[in-house]
Every structure is written in C-alpha cells, then in structure tokens.
Amino acid sequence: MSSGTPQRVSESGFPIAPVYTADDVPAGLSLGAPGEYPFTRGVYPTMYTARPWTMRQYAGFGTAAESNARYRQLLAAGTMGLSVAFDLPTQMGYDSDEAIAHGEVGKVGVAIDSVDDMRVLFDGIPLDRVSTSMTINAPAAVLLLLYQLVAEESGVSGAQLSGTIQNDILKEYIARGTYIFPPKPSLRLVADTFAYCRAEIPRWNTISISGYHMAEAGASPVQEIAFTLANGAEYVRAALAAGLKVDDFAPRLSFFFVARTTLLEEVAKFRAARRIWAQMMREEFGAVNPKSWMLRFHTQTAGVQLTAQQPEVNLVRVAVQGLGAVLGGTQSLHTNSYDEAIALPTEKAARLALRTQQVLAYETDLTATVDPFAGSYVVESMTDTIEAEAVALMQRVADFGSSVEAIENGFQKREIESSAYQIAQQIDGGERVVVGVNRFTVDVEEPYEPLRVDPAIEAAQVGRLTRLRADRDDAAVRAALESLSKAADGTENVLYPMKEALRLRATVGEVCHALRATWGLYQPADHF
C-alpha cells in the first residue's frame, strides 16, 4: 500500500494500512449506481430509504406450543419475520421417540415430528402476511411441505407464502455436520425443491446458501464468501443439469452470512460478494434477468464472538456487528441475544436483541441514504482486495473439478480448520483481544439465571407420536412412503409423493428413513 507501514492485519490476512488515500483505490474504479450491475452498492436503488431491512429473529425451543408463544411475543415486539430453529433430531431427520434422539429433544430448537406439530407451531400466525425462514438443511423439503400443508389448512395458498429454507447441504459436509444423504442425491433433492417451488410456492426462497456456519467454524471473511459462492455455483450447475433454466430459479436463490465485530472488513466483504456473484451469474452462467445477478442475503451477528464472561458486553458486540451488516447492505438481519453464549435466550434478552435493530433503523440516520461507505478509500481498497483473494480461492476449489470433489478431498474443511487454529492461538497468546476473556476481566461474575428446557418435553413428544400413529391410517401411510421410495429411485420429483405422505401424517423420521433406504447415508472420508 502506498500510505504508511501496515500496523494490523485483517481477519482475512491482508495488511491494513494506518492511512488510506486515493492512490489505494483501484484504478478506474466505477462503482455504478445502487440497484445496478454489479450491485457493489446494493441490490436495490433505494435500499433502506424506502423501508428498512427485514428484522428477523431466530427462535425455537422445546415444544411447538412454547415456540409459538415466543413467536407471538416477537411479533408483538415488532419483528417483521420469523426464523425457526429446529432441534437436532429434526435437523437430522429423526423422530423424537427414536433412541438416537434421546436427550436432544427440544434442546437447541423446536421438535417437529409431523404436520400435527407444525400446526401447533404456527397456530394463530397469519402465514399469508408473515415471512418465515427455516434453518433446516438435509430435511428442508420435508419441513417446507409441512409448512405448506398447514398454510393450506388455514386457506392460504402456496402462491401467498413467502420465506426461505436454508436447504444448503454442501456447507454441512464442510463445517456443520447435519447431513443425511451423500452429496449427489442431496443435490438432486435441492434441484427437485427448486422445481417444485417454482410451480407451487413461487415467492419462496428455495435455498439460503450459507457462509455463516463456516465463519462460526473459523473461516476468515475471504474463505466465508469464496466457499459460499463456490457452493452457490454448484447448486446452479445441479439445477441446470436437472433441466431447469437459469433465469427460472436464480432469482429465488439467497445467501446467509455472518457479521463480525471487524466492521470495515465486513462491509467490504458484503460488497465484494455481490460483485463476484453478479459477474459469475451473468458471464459464466449466461443469466439475462437482472434479478438472477443479485446476491440477496440474510445476516446474523457472530455467535462465536459472544462470551459467557461478562455477557452484557455482548450487547455492545451485537450492536457493532448489526451496524456492519446494515452498512454492508443486508436484506434481513438477526441480532443475537446477549446471553446466547450461556443458554437459549430468555424472553427479555431476545427482546433486547430486536430493540438493537430498531434503534439502528429508527434512531440513527443509516436509513437516510444509500450505501454510506461508497467511495471510502479504505472500504473500496478492502473490497477490491477481498474480491481478488476470494476469486483466487474459488479457483482453488474449481481446480478439484467442483465444490463436491473439493469437499470429498477435505479441502474446505482443512482450510477452515487452519484458520480456526490460528485464531485460537492468537487469543491464547493475547495477540487478539477478547474483552472479558483475555483482557479487562473481573474477579467475580454476576449470577445469571438461564432459560432451561424442561426434560419432560421428550416424554410429551413421544406421547404425541404414539397418539398420532394410533389415529392415522397406517396402510395409507405405508403406501405413500413406498411411492416416495420409488420416486427417489427414479427421476420423478420427490416432493409431490413426499407431500402426500406428510398429508397422511407420516412423520419426519419416516420420510427421511424412506430416503435413507434408497439413497444411503453419507460417510465422511478418512482424511476428514
């Protein structure tokens, strides 16, 4: 850099100069206008000057009834969209009464075993007016169909529904681990979901391609967007191979990123990601609809940066992280609760997290102008650097042949683990300051009473399943599951027979077991 000796290094490893000048901005830089290709300045011309981002709070715990009560509280407090957290058995496609689910029912999210549970989860919530995001991956199609069935029961058609399923299975193999099937049938299920939603739920975002979980596992900002966008390209190729046209599905693709406390680099990361995706979709995949070029994304503040020590300090961290997401042009935002490093958030903590967004939206001047950082020497320089490094890393993935082949060779996982190890070393050595952990500590922490999940929930869920199986037409369910297995073994879109099985009250576990029997289970290679 032209201006001074760098004193710090970014999260991604490039030097940060103490002073930036016009000489540091890329030569011939043309930012363009907001809402225009390549969308460096945002995907919409007016951004937040017309309306603020969607304030979407992630919640779900215990039973469907308890989570429904929390959703009603959040809606009453002013949240604009719901975001559902599912428990681990649901994420892995198991019912609450299976042995493998013991001890995990309702712990990290809500337990959903059947359409009966989904009906309770959204009781009294206007599904034609509320946008719902569901953090679910391997069984994403199953939970989406349950949601559609409940909506139809209340007179809401698929055409009226809006929301997002995460449905990003590739990052599960890289960083999170809640996969079920091998990559190829998993990609087929994703492509079937794209096609189904285009015909049946056209306003639904069919995938939220996620860098968040890779970042939580230790990925740098460059790794986060490089691996995420490479996965995005893999989903596009899978859909094209299934016979879909790029402009028929690409406008419904969405993304999910983290916002760290390193605000300047995060803003630059979001700008670089938009630019890379726009160029790739137009030049590599030949999309002609400008909506296919837009990288629309949800952001969540960085859970991994929250501390159990002096947890109130997390309120400050979350405010800074949320500010970075807004300055970076996010379409929706979840702000973490200050107590999440200890337990599931209390009602008060969840409300404070939402209030953080409301202060940003209504008490600051952030929504008065579009892209406040446009032309900033440091941000434009960082954006260019991050773009170049991310594109180079994406090429390393492509050198394996595809994201799937890179995953099977353990490439992304090794790169992220190396980054995570470096971060841990920096914290342990004091080079990276974490307030309350390795500096500015206190001798005695104030007592805190966390939210606790009642262990009786598991027995209650088991009881619900027992009653469900006694009340339904088992012969009809078995026939529907057999039809699903046949579709999975052939080329038919599996969501249609899957929906019929779920309508007849087949459980999440039964549907996933039918697919397991046909497609098999994914077993990581030894080098993982």
Q: Are residues 35 and 48 in contact, defined by beta-carbon separation less than 8 angstroms?
A: no
Residue in this structure with the two tokens 């949800």, named with its chain if needed: 298
Domain at 8-429, CATH homologous superfamily: Methylmalonyl-CoA mutase (3.20.20.240)
Q: What angle do CA 108, 110, 115 make, to 5 degrees?
A: 150
Burial of 353 (0-12, 13-18, 19+ CB in 10 A): buried
Q: How far apart are CA 304 and CA 215, in angstroms?
A: 9
- The pLDDT tens digits for 137-176 are 999 999 999 999 999 999 999 999 999 999 999 999 999 9
pLDDT score, position 441: 94
Q: What average pLDDT does the segment 352-367 reach?
A: 97
Residue 461 neighbours by CB distance under 10 Å:
25
To the nearest whole number, what is the mean pLDDT of the chain?
A: 94
For residue 376, count CB atoms less than 10 angstroms from its CB and return exposed for 0-12, middle for 13-18, buried for 19 or more.
Answer: middle
Q: Looking at residue 449, what is its pLDDT?
A: 80
Q: Which band of pLDDT confidence, cut at 50, 70 and 90, is reported for residue 528?
A: very low
Res 4: pLDDT: 53
HSE (side-chain half, CA atoms, 13 Å) at 314:
26
Per-residue pLDDT for 306 more than 70? yes
Determine contact, residues 502/145, Cβ cutoff 8 Å: yes
What per-residue confidence (pLDDT) applies to 1?
47
Strand partners, 503: none
Six-digit token string for 147? 């949601």
Position 523 confidence tier, pLDDT thresholds 50, 70, 90: confident
Annotated domain spans of the chain:
8-429, 456-519
Q: pLDDT digit string (tens) for 240-259?
A: 999 999 999 999 999 999 99
Tens-digit pLDDT profile for residues 80-102: 788 899 999 999 999 999 999 99
Binning pLDDT at 50, 70 and 90, where does residue 6 land? Answer: low
Say how far apart CA 332 and CA 492 lie, in whole Å. 34
* Residue pLDDT, tens place only, 88-137: 999 999 999 999 999 999 998 999 999 999 999 999 999 999 999 999 99
Rounded to whole angstroms, how far apart are CA atoms 257 and 259? 7
Q: DSSP of 152-191, one letter per residue?
A: HHTT--GGG--EEE----HHIIIII----S-HHHHHHHHH
> Burial of 377 by CB count in 10 Å (0-12 exposed, 13-18 middle, 19+ buried)?
middle
Kindly state the average pLDDT of the residues 503-517. 98
| Nearest in space to 215 (alpha carbons), one of 166, 252, 266, 167 | 266
Q: Residue 208's pLDDT is what?
A: 95
Share of the chain above pLDDT 90, in %: 89
